[in-house]
Amino acid sequence: MHERDLKGWNFIVYILIKKNFRFDSFTLTELYSYEQYFSLVYPSNFHIKDKLRQTLQKLRDKGLLQFHSLGNYQLLQSDVREVVIEDKHQELVYLLSNESIPGWVKIGRTNAINRRLKELYNTSVPLPFRIEDKIETQTLEESRILEKSIHSIIDTLNPNLRKHTEAYKREFFRMSTDEGKSIFKLVTHIIGITPTQESRLSA
């Protein structure tokens, strides 16, 4: 199995374990310590621990995780590999807002942010989109996985932000920019990718 075969929660939790626990071993209590970061997305969701346990079960079924007694776990060696650099363009996942669409943000991916902003600023919107945050990735494949994983987490923790709205299957989420930034903070803490703030973007 390759890392690219993991999606959504499976990908996020797998990377969390791989990057944050020595020798890829951990206890359920240690994993639960990351609940606070998932709660940043939607603090009223009280089933995050259940989702984490469910994800551990799926990783075990995929042959990536072994359960030990007394709540001890071990990530197994496999052919899951880190994504290697293979694309020439800078891939990234972005967080956008638009004053003409209040209460909504757009979370997507691109390898040319300025071009993407120009594409979005068309006759359908009166005002241009604004970059609120972005996360740089090494490859197109990695950005796709990260984008879909972020979407999956939001849809699971609070379906009313997209899944149960007219924007279902699109890249728009009914949340404030601050809530969107909390999503990116979550990703930063869990998988060790550092967001790049708008102030660091080139003109």
Q: What is the pLDDT of residues 40-80, one digit of tens each?
A: 766 677 788 999 999 999 999 988 999 887 788 998 865 54
pTM of the model: 0.67
Pick the CATH number of 3-75 from 3.40.50.11540, 3.40.50.720, 1.10.10.10, 3.40.50.460: 1.10.10.10
Which pLDDT score, from 0 to 100, does residue 54 have?
92
Mean pLDDT, 10 residues at a time, the chain of 203 residues: 69 85 86 83 78 92 86 75 46 94 94 92 90 88 87 85 83 92 80 49 33
- 141/169 Cα distance (integer angstroms): 19
pLDDT at 118: 93
The full set of domain ranges for the chain reads 3-75, 91-176
